[in-house]
Amino acid sequence: MIKRPFGWTNAEVPVIGQGTWMIEGDPDREKRAVETLRLGLDLGLTHIDTGEMYGEGRVEQLVAEAIVGRRDEVFLASKVLPSNASYEGTLRACENSLKRLRTDRLDLYMLHWPGRHPIEETMRAMEKLIERGLIRFAGGSNFDVEELQGAADSLEGQRLACDQVLYHLEDRGIEVRLLPQCTQEQIAIVSYSPFGHGKFPGVHSAGGRLLAEIGERHGRTPRQVALNFLTRHPNVFAIPKTTHPDRVKENAGAVGWKLSAQEIDAIDRAFPAPAFVTALGTL
């Protein structure tokens, strides 16, 4: 699995990681989800994304099972809920996540989305957590350009490492302003729901057929083509979620090979970014 520097940080992070939203459930499903996460680690998908919200803490416990004995291999990310994101609330939420994850540190801690607590408070807590060695980097999620700027301005001695945002073939809105802004400031973009949260274009659509055709040429699947396209920009990482071992293998095969410029153009036309973006669509 290819790794890249995570924004301005010195952390080398795999281009494809693993999401964990909605992996909880009955014991069989959870067992398979944990095995899938472990297989993902074997395949180099060592960026694991979770959050206190997922399964109300249950998912962090499952992630703990998956990474037991392997903590140092993992780039471990979690998120504080906006309703908990006061200064004290953020500190407490992080400590609770660490307990559930059975670890002493997170690599990345994000505000899940901007909420009612002033961003200055949340970011002050993030700085405190870095100072205490409980987190390596602070990030945002679902921040637009202005929210990102507000968060960055609130940090006194630290920098924001990433913005984790919705980015898939049928929603390329971040390419308009956020991606250029983050690239300029060396803030990593992490694409969540890279398969549209399960709504992936099938062969009944022209776009789906195009992905299949391109995939055939490379001996790859449509989803591998999609992930390759989304991560073509060097500042973008993706965290698809699956609870199936065969699918995590598929997702791991999404990078390490190249789409041609013509193929990128064709995908760009089939799944257009908002109209006034031009340059990034052809990267």
Ligand X SMILES: NC(=O)c1ccc[n+]([C@@H]2O[C@H](COP(=O)([O-])OP(=O)(O)OC[C@H]3O[C@@H](n4cnc5c(N)ncnc54)[C@H](OP(=O)(O)O)[C@@H]3O)[C@@H](O)[C@H]2O)c1
C-beta closer to ligand X: residue 8 or 21? 21
Instruction: Please compute, for residue 45, the number of CA atoms within 13 A of its CA located in the half-sphere on the CB side.
Output: 29
Q: Is 56 left (phi over 0), alpha (psi -120 to 50) or beta?
A: left
Q: Nearest-CA neighbor of 156 among 131, 133, 180, 178? A: 131
- Minimum CB distance to ligand X, residue 172 (Å): 14
* Catalytic position from the list 54, 109, 167, 192: 54
Q: Is 102 left (phi over 0), alpha (psi -120 to 50) or beta?
A: left
- Minimum CB distance to ligand X, residue 227 (Å): 9
User: Cα separation of 10 and 228, whole Å?
Assistant: 23
C-beta closer to ligand X: residue 231 or 242? 242
- Minimum CB distance to ligand X, residue 279 (Å): 26
Strand partners, 154: none
Binding residues (CB under 6 A) for ligand X: these are: 19-21, 49, 112, 141-142, 164, 192-198, 223, 239-244, 247, 250-251
Cβ-Cβ contacts under 8 Å for 193 (sequence gap 6 or more): 166, 167, 168
C-beta closer to ligand X: residue 142 or 181? 142
Q: Is 167 a catalytic residue?
A: no
- Minimum CB distance to ligand X, residue 69 (Å): 22
C-beta closer to ligand X: residue 47 or 136? 47
User: Cα separation of 245 and 227, whole Å?
Assistant: 17
Asked whether 101 and 78 are in contact (CB, 8 A), the reply is yes
Which residue's structure tokens are 């990433």?
A: 162
Residue nearest to ligand X (CB): 19
The residues carrying an active-site annotation are: 54
